[in-house]
Structure 1
Amino acid sequence: MCYNFLLTHDKIRKGTKRYEKKTRSALIKNGKYFVAPQQSSDTFKVLFARLAAEGAGRPVDRQGFPDGPWTPETIAEAISAIDGYDGDIDLRTVQIWFQDNDNGISTNNIRWLARIFGCNDPDATSLWQVELSAANRRLAEKRKRKKVGNRPRLGSTETVQKIEAGYTRARASAVTAQEINWRFNLAKKTEALFDSQSSMALPLVVFTGACTLALISFTLNVHSVVFTPENGPPRQVGFLWAPNWTITFLAVLPLFLVLLMDLLRCWKEEWRTRLADFNDPEFLGVSWEHRLTAASYAFWATFFVTVIVASGYNWTATHLTPLLESDPGNWAVDWSRIAILRPDLISVPSAIAFTSLVFLYNGFTAYLFFTGHIILHLMKDDYVSLMKGLEAQSSEEFIPEIENISFLLMNGIFRCTALGVLITILMKLQSSFLQSNSTNIIDWLVADFGSPFGNHDSIAKESTLSRIAPGSFYSFFCLLAIVGTFANASIKIRWMFARLHLAEWHNRLIAPWVVMNGTMALLVISYFLIGVLPGFTIFLAFSLALTGYLLTKPASMWSRDSRKERST
């Protein structure tokens, strides 16, 4: 009898161990602690806090227990290690999930979180994605109920219209993307150039092209040419003496591309993601890809104007035809037309080949320059769209970060457009010099600098009106487009802050904002004074010095100054 009792007890003990082992193995998937969805009525914050405390999705030890609870650092590191992760989640975003507030989680981030809680198992991930989405909706409903109690209730008709409009816009976005997907998308191809992983790749290509043209000008003997007109003093018209061909492509344009590429990367990878996380999860905004696709016509129009008209047609009318006819006409003589009057330096066929190469390079660099301004407009429109979604948010927790993102975006736009205005100034300097009677552009600038101090040989009065320099007209239209980009961004960003009733922002950032607007105004005034007012170089030098200081000053120092104002 005692033997039978011991045998029965041993069977029960072994059965219990087998049950515990089977139960423990059911809680382990892919070597991680798995917690099955309970289909509870908890909101996202409650559900996430419970799962983080239990260590759902954490690696297990030999006994099958999870390796402690989740922390913001460990869960951010785990998400970044997932195959196919696109880098949309940072530590700040994960910290918001742990905070006790009414902020939810975006649909894209739910996907990554479900992979963690589902232990990277397809079926379990799908179940957790459904569970997390439902919990996030319950949190959104809870937040809406709070807002209804504190704010006037919107009419049901208006609410339905907004929801229907949002879904219609989302469906239209999907349809448009599918329709255009099969076609060659110039906008996406161009944006891919600016979105390169290396911020120096495209600028180095532009710089190398400029160096190549400079070397070719040496071999063709047009790098430095002193030309003596019939009625006038000798004049330096060499290729390397033209700042619009040398300084622009060797320094200013590469720097413009570096700043633009860095700004675009920050916007897509950091700032846009943060503003999207601050929004209501149910806010139906326009994706960056759809916004870029919708602007495809602008990229094609820019290609036509810069490559076909401004470069192709301009080269044909102002260089090819005069060279073939051996008559410069009313065009100012420079390195590109010197073959007509000095065939001993360069032959007409060589001049045609070299000018065609220069204008081909100029056409594609001009395309990059102006499509860069289209990218600036798209970032500004994307910012305005995301900020409109924040109008219904009552939390003031993220206002400082929103202010910081807004200023950094505007500061980046200012830097790019300031360099753009500098390019137009270089173009007009060369055009004005060709209409003067000075020997070279350096003597021309030095003489003007000394004119207010007793040098009465004012270059502003030495204009030979019989010669036409097309760069003056071209630079003027470029100036309008560049200043329009800056002014539009400045007005729209300030307008959005007014709509969000962020009155304190005006006091914190008014100084840097005034400096940016004032510097842009000084650059524009300097442009119009070139060759018109004696002593314009003094005003120009001051404007360029101030611009150079703002370009080299880190934007973070402005933010630091604003924090000091806030603390005082």
Structure 2
Amino acid sequence: MLNNGKFFLPPPNDGSDFKELFKRLAAAGAGRQLGSDGFPAGPWTPELLAEAISQIDSNRIGVDLRTVQLWFQENDKGISTANIRWLARIFGCDDPVSTGDWQMELSAAQARLTAKRREGRKAGSNMAMGLPGLVQTATATDETVSAAELAQHVDAKGPGRGLDLAMRSEALFSRGSPLNLPAGVFAGATALGFLSYVTGVHSATYDRVDGVVKQVGFLWAPNWTFLFMVFLPLFFGFVIELLAFWKFEARLKLVAQSDQIESHNAWARTVGSASSTYWAVFLVCLVFAGIVQWVEVCLIPLMKGNGDYAIDWGKIAIVRPDIISVPEAVLFTGFSYLYMAISFYVFFVGLILLYTIAYDFWKIKEKLKDQPEVNSQCDLNEVGLTIIRGTFRCTVLGILIAICMKIQSSYLTSTGENIAAWFVGDISSAIYGDKNMNSAIGYSMPTHYSSLLVVISTCIVFLFGALRLDIGNQFRVTLWKMSTVVALLVAGYLLIGAFAGFSILLSIGVLFALYGLFDPGLGRWQTSELGSKLNVS
């Protein structure tokens, strides 16, 4: 039958499922232009059908060749509602009435395939006697699949099964409510604050040998209050949001319009390939930053009654046993350092995931260079811009975390009576030439080293993202602004306590950084049809 110069077959209405129906129509070449001899031009191939669908004027995105190949293969994968529309246009030969008939036929065939799969899953479940490790393995269509189903499939089939630290760590950011991880960290810091009240170290002073009455209370320490109650929960929140955007929206849009489970398995393989990195970071954070540092900085000085480290709330029992006893201090500091070690491991996991997202996007972008019909350059730029905005926010928070650590360490060795007076005195000494509050006593400051590691790691992730994402010339100014803010913040960190008036430079950098959290575009927002949907905010 001829329709618009193409070979037309009417819907058979014979109760076939999608696989059976599609196989017959593809073999017959339904919807293809007739040959010069007036006969059908031959059967459809995946390449020819994908090209035909992508050439439909109203189909701006096109269709992935891999999606079409899945239709031809002997599997349980069906077709999405969006692609039913385009396939109906092909089989209906661009005739509105015929297209509508074929759209109803394809929808019914897909429903029959779904019902058949459902019956097969029930039979398989009965044979498996309800074992908890079994999940749906034949549900991969290009229909919408819930995040929970995808997570279950990756657990059972992907590289995340067993004791895979990488996937279990990634699950902290991608499973459950986005509020769970930030709220958990905040709750831990709140619990430590209550314990400090109970033990009496929430606000504690002591007379230093140089005559300075030093405030070393737990609630006066920004590396235990602002860090764990504000900056770290915000960092986790932004990482969770960016990861969800990449896994469940951007990645599926770019490479897996039909097979969401395959896309998530590919992401799981990318995450799992860095398993050694996760283990290395876990051991460093738990063993060295946690146990070894606690023993060296707190336990040994408390046992011996002295040490090379400045007195803080964890060692106040040495000079003020009337406030807290040594056994109580040992227990409290041990719990605190364990909490700190776990929290910083999760922090570094967030940095690894940011790196992985940028790397995964770069790999996909390289593959799509030769497939302009799949995704436009504008779409890639919008996704890349969203990723770099989220990475910038996390970078700013990472450096602010390091600043909290170094400020506390520098304050403990300064002549300031409390951290607020130390800041005000530093500004006053720069403006009015008052006494320099930065003259320090020669204590060891291990926090300087650990905070430097945080800054270096965070900046490397941002630099990698800036280089790999390649977000296009129209966003170069925004990227340069981001880089300038990061550089200013790093300079403020490095110069803490280095000269009188360092707090002025630091305050300027922090103000720009805080503005960047609300507006990562730094006053230069670029909008487009997709940009308004892809902004991580």
Q: Kindly indicate whether residue 280 of structure 2 is the aligned counterpart of residue 301 of structure 1.
A: yes
Match for 2:475: what amino acid?
L
Query: In the TM superposition, what is the alpha-carbon distance from 1:121 to its structure 2 partner?
Result: 2.9
The answer to whether the 8 Å contact 2:55/2:62 transfers is no
TM-score of the aligned structures, taking structure 1 as reference length = 0.69
CA 179–378 in structure 1, closer or farther in 2 if over 3 Å, else same: closer
Correspondence 1:357-372 to 2 at 5 A:
357-372=335-350
Query: In the TM superposition, what is the alpha-carbon distance from 1:38 to its structure 2 partner?
Result: 2.4
Correspondence 1:87-106 to 2 at 5 A:
99=59, 103-106=63-66
- More helix by percentage: 1
CA 427–125 in structure 1, closer or farther in 2 if over 3 Å, else same: same
In structure 2, the residue matched to 1:480 is 456
In structure 2, the residue matched to 1:255 is 234
Query: In the TM superposition, what is the alpha-carbon distance from 1:469 to its structure 2 partner?
Result: 2.0
Match for 2:401: what amino acid?
I
Q: Kindly indicate whether residue 366 of structure 2 is the aligned counterpart of residue 388 of structure 1.
A: yes
Q: Kindly indicate whether residue 430 of structure 2 is the aligned counterpart of residue 464 of structure 1.
A: no
CA 386–346 in structure 1, closer or farther in 2 if over 3 Å, else same: same
Secondary structure of the equivalent of 1:381? helix
Query: In the TM superposition, what is the alpha-carbon distance from 1:118 to its structure 2 partner?
Result: 2.7
Query: In the TM superposition, what is the alpha-carbon distance from 1:104 to its structure 2 partner?
Result: 3.3
CA distance in 1, matches of 2:411, 2:114: 73
Secondary structure of the equivalent of 2:162? coil
CA distance in 2, matches of 1:26, 1:383: 43
Comparing 100-109 with 363-372, greater Cα deviation is found at 100-109
Match for 1:477: what amino acid?
L
Match for 1:452: what amino acid?
A
Secondary structure of the equivalent of 1:120? helix
Query: In the TM superposition, what is the alpha-carbon distance from 1:445 to its structure 2 partner?
Result: 0.4
CA 45–272 in structure 1, closer or farther in 2 if over 3 Å, else same: farther
CA distance in 1, matches of 2:428, 2:60: 67
The answer to whether the 8 Å contact 1:448/1:458 transfers is yes
* Identity within the alignment, %: 30
Correspondence 1:535-550 to 2 at 5 A:
535-550=501-516
Correspondence 1:136-285 to 2 at 5 A:
183-277=162-256
1:81-115 per-position Cα deviation (integer Å, ceiling 9, x unaligned): xxxxxxxxxxxx99999628864354498524079
CA distance in 2, matches of 1:364, 1:480: 20
The answer to whether the 8 Å contact 1:421/1:524 transfers is yes
Name which of 320, 326, 330 aligns with 1:342.
320
1:16-51 per-position Cα deviation (integer Å, ceiling 9, x unaligned): xxxxxxx99953479x9x95642436889979xxxx
Query: In the TM superposition, what is the alpha-carbon distance from 1:343 to its structure 2 partner?
Result: 0.7
Q: Kindly indicate whether residue 428 of structure 2 is the aligned counterpart of residue 441 of structure 1.
A: no
CA distance in 2, matches of 1:478, 1:486: 12
Secondary structure of the equivalent of 1:227? strand
The answer to whether the 8 Å contact 2:478/2:522 transfers is no
CA distance in 2, matches of 1:320, 1:390: 56
The answer to whether the 8 Å contact 1:424/1:476 transfers is yes
In structure 2, the residue matched to 1:491 is 467
Regions of 4+ moved over 6 Å = 42-47, 93-97, 123-126, 283-286
Query: In the TM superposition, what is the alpha-carbon distance from 1:562 to its structure 2 partner?
Result: 7.9
Q: Kindly indicate whether residue 496 of structure 2 is the aligned counterpart of residue 530 of structure 1.
A: yes
In structure 2, the residue matched to 1:27 is 14
CA 382–228 in structure 1, closer or farther in 2 if over 3 Å, else same: same
The structure whose Rg is larger is: 1
Secondary structure of the equivalent of 2:212? coil
In structure 1, the residue matched to 2:410 is 432
Query: In the TM superposition, what is the alpha-carbon distance from 1:302 to its structure 2 partner?
Result: 0.9
Query: In the TM superposition, what is the alpha-carbon distance from 1:459 to its structure 2 partner?
Result: 2.4
Match for 2:163: what amino acid?
F
1:242-274 per-position Cα deviation (integer Å, ceiling 9, x unaligned): 000000011110011111100000000111112
The answer to whether the 8 Å contact 1:263/1:409 transfers is yes
CA 182–372 in structure 1, closer or farther in 2 if over 3 Å, else same: closer
CA 123–185 in structure 1, closer or farther in 2 if over 3 Å, else same: closer
The answer to whether the 8 Å contact 1:199/1:258 transfers is yes
Secondary structure of the equivalent of 1:384? helix
In structure 1, the residue matched to 2:380 is 402
Name which of 484, 501, 504 aligns with 1:518.
484
In structure 2, the residue matched to 1:375 is 353
Secondary structure of the equivalent of 1:550? helix
Q: How many positions carry a matched residue from both structures?
A: 430
CA distance in 1, matches of 2:340, 2:392: 24
1:427-456 per-position Cα deviation (integer Å, ceiling 9, x unaligned): 000011011011001000011112221133
Secondary structure of the equivalent of 1:514? helix
Q: Kindly indicate whether residue 266 of structure 2 is the aligned counterpart of residue 287 of structure 1.
A: yes
CA distance in 2, matches of 1:522, 1:314: 30
CA 393–227 in structure 1, closer or farther in 2 if over 3 Å, else same: same
Match for 1:365: what amino acid?
S
Match for 2:526: what amino acid?
R
Name which of 412, 426, 445 aligns with 2:390.
412
In structure 2, the residue matched to 1:58 is none
CA distance in 2, matches of 1:527, 1:95: 55
The answer to whether the 8 Å contact 1:429/1:530 transfers is yes
In structure 2, the residue matched to 1:68 is none
TM-score of the aligned structures, taking structure 2 as reference length = 0.73
CA distance in 2, matches of 1:396, 1:121: 29
Name which of 280, 293, 296 aligns with 1:314.
293
Secondary structure of the equivalent of 1:523? helix
Match for 2:301: what amino acid?
P
CA 95–358 in structure 1, closer or farther in 2 if over 3 Å, else same: farther
In structure 2, the residue matched to 1:333 is 311
Query: In the TM superposition, what is the alpha-carbon distance from 1:559 to its structure 2 partner?
Result: 4.3
Query: In the TM superposition, what is the alpha-carbon distance from 1:366 to its structure 2 partner?
Result: 0.5
The answer to whether the 8 Å contact 2:15/2:109 transfers is no
Match for 1:230: what amino acid?
V
Match for 2:364: what amino acid?
L
1:306-329 per-position Cα deviation (integer Å, ceiling 9, x unaligned): 1111111100111111111222x1
